[in-house]
Structure formats: C-alpha cells, structure tokens
Structure 1
C-alpha cells in the first residue's frame, strides 16, 4: 500500500519549523507546479505542502478508482489522510477551483487542522438553477456538449478548453501550459472527474464552515461567474470576497503578484 506522499506526489518545502503550514491544492486539469510563484513568495516564512490530486499531475494513476472519485468526497478523504499522515496543524489551505471546495468540505469535516481557507475561483455548484435564480455558469446542454467533445477528440478539446478558461490571449503560453497538464490526464479519467465536478452541489454545506475564508475571483471568469463568488460570500460565515484585476479562471497564474498580496493581508 502506498503512503499518501507517494500516492499524491507530495512535496514539502519552506520552513520545517514554521508554526503554520500552507497547503496548495490545484484545480481540475492542473497540477502543483501552477503554484510556483506563490510557493516562492511564502516559503521563507511557512512550511509548504504541495500535492497532486489522484487522476492528475504525477499522482499515482493506479490509485484512481471511478467509484471512489465519482464525487469529490473521495478527494476530501485523501486530504484528511494527508493531514493525518503529515501530522499537520495551523493549516492555511489555498485551493484553486474544485480544490477550494475540497478544502472547504475538509475544513467542515476536520476543523481542528485548519486555520484559514483561501478559495481561488471556487464554486459549490456549476449548473444554473433557473427555478431558484441560482447562477452557476453552465446549463446541462452545455455540459453534454463538453462531455461529448471530451469523448470525441480529447486533445482537441483540451486545447480549446484551455484557451477558453485561461483567457489572457496576449500571453498564449499560459493557456499552452494548462493545455499541457490537461492533456497529460487519461481521457477516461478526465471525463469521469469532470462529471463529478460539474454536476456537484455543495451549496447546503457552505454555512457549516467555521474557518475564516477568503474568496478570490477574477473580473471575468468563464467557469465561475461573479454571482457565484457573491453567493459563497453570503453563505460562508466569516468570509471575505476579493476580486483580482485579471481575466480567466487562473488568478494565481495570470496575476500571481496580486494574489500573493491579497493572501498576505488575509493571513
């Protein structure tokens, strides 16, 4: 049986004797390398823990099970295992996209480990709900088209999806880097995880969190509209909402300096 360190390709950097640990959790199709500018900004003062979600990055591909990861609760269990195995405390959890929600659910389940939460472009629910007025950004028809494109020609889909969500067309290397990590995921795993993410609904959980949270959005995120950030801010107790002056779904990649200063003032 693999250790969590092996399974999740865990890397520990920064100050071993620091009182607080920052854990960085990457979003769908990304990996831990996306946080490099943030790691460099914090490693002098904090212990840093980096990991890859099972099914992505350099995590153990053999650890992926469609039943365990049919919902994001499988990843919540993984994060709990990581916290215990590394015996962490005073954790500042910085989660991008789906990993923001994984961090929030983990903080509800294992609150004693956590000190603060930073949710970068995160969402509890991606599907619109016209009957209640909830705006998530997607409808089921759009998701079916997305799944179909992933099934038909995964690499073409990955390239187009990367350009769509990263934006910042004046810096094409940003989308190219994301397309590269996205394309390295096995197509069947990517489709399985995408369904678990895009069809999840954790809105009822938001009010259960007792950990101070910083919600970070960009001015124009095609995956997580501003209404989602405002919804989370209203429903997560003790939360703050900050907008970074950049477009796209990757504020830590397209505007790392601004994200670093927002996090520093929060923690």
Structure 2
C-alpha cells in the first residue's frame, strides 16, 4: 500500500473538479476522481459514481481504501444549479435534485470517508461552497438553500472531527469560467472571472494544513489573500467569524444572547 497522500475529488470530469484534480496531481498527490462517467484528468484514477447513491458511494470509498490504504483529503465538488426563476415557477423535480446533489452527495461522501480519516489519525474535507449560501436570491432558492445547508455540514464535521484531527472547510470559488457559469443568466455578458489558480492555491493550502484555523469556516477565491488567511489561521478567529450566523437587530435583541 502506498504512503503517497490520497485525495478523493467528486465531480472531477470538468470545471472546478477537473482543476482540483489536476492541481493535486501536480502537487504530488495520488488523486481519485469521481464522476458519473468515470472520466477524469490524465494522471488521476477515474471511477464512475453517482454521489447521491449510498451504495455506490460506500463501494467506491471501500475500493479506494483497499487500493491506497488511506484517504487524506476529500473534495466535495459535485453540484448542480437550477433554472433561474422564482420558487413558485420552479420545476419540482429539478429544484429537489439540486438539494439532493448538493447536500446528500457531500453528506454521503463525508459519512463514508471520515471514519477512515479518524482511523488514520486525521484528514481534511473541503466542500465547494458559494457566497450564495450566505444570502438569499429571488431566482436560485434551491442553490442558495443547498449551500447554506452545506455550510452547516462543514461546521458540524469540523466540531465533531476536531478531537480526531479531522478538519472541514468551505471553499467558495468565486465565479470561475465553466460550463455551469456560462449557462447561468446572472453571468450573461460577464468579462471578469475568478482565476482558476486562485481557487487551486486555496485548495492546496487547505490540503497542506496551512489554514487549519479556518476549520468550520469559509474562504473565497478571488477575494481572500492567501498570506492574510495564513496569518489569521495562526492568530485564531473569533466566535462566529466566517460562519453563518443570525444577525440580531441590536444588543437588546433577545436572540443576541448565546444559547
């Protein structure tokens, strides 16, 4: 069994998943990429998997551990976005499939992988999140809801995993030029895009343990400076910093008191 560090990347056939797989491969990681087709970047092992199917996820994770003996990094990237319309105009099946893919998928992968990380003494989970998860939009209710839910998964895994050396992070990639972003009405006519290397630089920093102080928290490519993040990681962040929180109306708001 190899001692090379092993990364498991979902949605690895295109877009940000492909970028992540290539960056990790070039950094010396053994990369296993999951996609429905099983197609991934050269130099990475591709495996077909529907990340919303519990049996398929369990089988794939078991196969990776059997072959490599470990999984050090999980990158939950597979995701969908719905047609941009108000909720009452949405297609029921499309709306729900976004929730299933963006929430059930990371849940199943994390549930299957983290026990192996704990047994090995630790590991890291990076969830591809979005600024959309921190606010509402009139025309993307499923996507926004799914990314808010994903942040709660990240936070819960970070809290429960801390004593086992397991860290979890939300990585918002900004607006990278991909098939998905080109298909979105909100990006029609866009000429400025987040540089792919900004996304992969943050991913590699997470993978190398440079930003463990951000476990349970969100960073954003294209806005965050990596050196500044490193400094804050060393310094430590306050309660609720870079996390989803209810904003009280003022000090006299009864919900402002810790509960």
Whether TM-score is above 0.5 comes out as no
Q: With the length of structure 1 as denominator, give the TM-score of the two structures.
A: 0.33
Q: With the length of structure 2 as denominator, give the TM-score of the two structures.
A: 0.34
Which one has a bigger Cα radius of gyration?
Answer: 2
